[in-house]
Structure 1
Amino acid sequence: MRKLIESTFVSLDGIIDDTRPSTASRAEPQHWGQPYWDADHNGYAGKLLTSADAMLLGRVTYEGFAEAWSVRSGPDADMFNELPKYVASRTLTETTWKNSTLIKGDVAEEVARLKEQPGKNIMKWGTGELDRTLVEHGLVDEFHFWYFPVVVGAGKHLFEGAGFDTTHLKLADIDRFDSGIVVHIYVPK
């Protein structure tokens, strides 16, 4: 069975993104995270990406990634653009990014079906409303929380609005980078 791996950038004060509509654009990970993106960061991200042969994205992450990656070229961009992408959204009616498929019907059933297919891991970038369904149905196999050595002070917090009950996780591994990023890898207990 394939694993579903979620990867999320987190500041020390728990910020993962700006609020929508934006009240603190400084809270966007591309602003506070970029000073720490080095060879260690790129190597770890590349390892995650090459371990997967599909992506699962919520609407907000899908829209941001489609805007950023669809216009890029090079090995990483080519891989992002070529991978099959499954998009969970209650509001989108179509997808425009190459190899993207809108999940229709029950998201939990569709993700469970994807996990049962042969292949490599399925990567889910970002944390948001989709996590409620995934966690409630025990579909996330690993969480990779990238803690950056920065306090942002405003923005959307990790799992804000997800609305699920207390969920206990087990620390499976830790990766430390010279930049100060520490990746905590958690699995369901």
Structure 2
Amino acid sequence: METNNRRLIVFNQMTLDGYFTGENDDISWAHHSPGDVEWNTFVSGNMTGEGVLVFGRKTYEMMAGFWPSPMAKEYDPIMAKQMNEFEKVVFSRTLSNATWNNTRLIKGDLVEEIKKLKKEEGRDLVILGSGSIVNQLVQVGLIDEIQIVLFPVAIGKGRTMFNDISKPLNFKTKSCRSFKNGNIFICYENA
């Protein structure tokens, strides 16, 4: 009997001009309004705990520095609770430990370790941010789905998710949804 492998999903926010972070990894453009019921319902629905969060070191340090803080709990108490409770994996060759609640540090070869994780039973793996690991994994065909929230803003400079790809990559649209606030959610899978 064949078992299904876990999927590896990327969930990222992007500007109209294709950046997922601005200069100095700024993501202040990707804000949401606490009063935006439609958008907040969508975000809460996406954060149901059905996946294991996967980070590279930079994104991990940014998230671990914010979500456990009193500011995060005040800004978005539901999201802060979820982010702190989720199972998390961080890939890094330089971190000596991962102190954020429910986080496992993996120092081995990224591609080989992801292959192992995908073969294990469990919830899907969801990469947030982490452009350097997205670049490496998309080129070797390990990413099963890319979910992008397109924000109606242009920032002019920053980093794309695919800065270092060595060949064209083709995807097909799995689903798409627009929101009254101007955001568009697009889900792609490999073509």
Same fold (TM over 0.5): yes
Q: Which amino acid aligns with 2:63?
A: F
SS at match of 1:15: coil
Q: 2:9 aligns with which of 5, 11, 17?
A: 5
Report 1:37-186 matches (<5 A): 38-50=36-48, 52-71=50-69, 72-73=72-73, 74-160=77-163, 162-186=164-188
Higher mean displacement: 130-139 or 177-186 = 130-139
Distance 1:149 1:138 in 2: 29
- Residue 34 of structure 1 deviates from its aligned partner by 1.5
CA deviation digits over 1:76-97, x for unaligned, max 9? 2222112121111232222121
Distance 2:45 2:122 in 1: 16
Over the aligned positions, Cα root-mean-square deviation in angstroms equals 2.0
- Residue 35 of structure 1 deviates from its aligned partner by 5.0
Q: Which residue of 2 aligns with 1:33?
A: 30
Aligned residues: 181
Is the Cα contact below 8 Å between 1:52 and 1:123 reproduced in 2?
Answer: no
- Residue 58 of structure 1 deviates from its aligned partner by 0.9
Q: Which amino acid aligns with 1:163?
A: I
- Residue 127 of structure 1 deviates from its aligned partner by 4.4
SS at match of 1:34: coil
CA deviation digits over 1:98-126, x for unaligned, max 9? 11111121222222222222222221111
- Residue 14 of structure 1 deviates from its aligned partner by 1.1
Q: Which amino acid aligns with 1:53?
A: G
> Unmatched 5+ residue regions in structure 2?
none
Is the Cα contact below 8 Å between 1:36 and 1:181 reproduced in 2?
Answer: no
SS at match of 2:177: strand
State percent identity of aligned pairs.
31
Is the Cα contact below 8 Å between 2:19 and 2:158 reproduced in 1?
Answer: yes
TM-score (normalised: structure 1): 0.85
Going from structure 1 to structure 2, the CA distance change for 1:151 and 1:136 (only over 3 Å counts) comes to closer
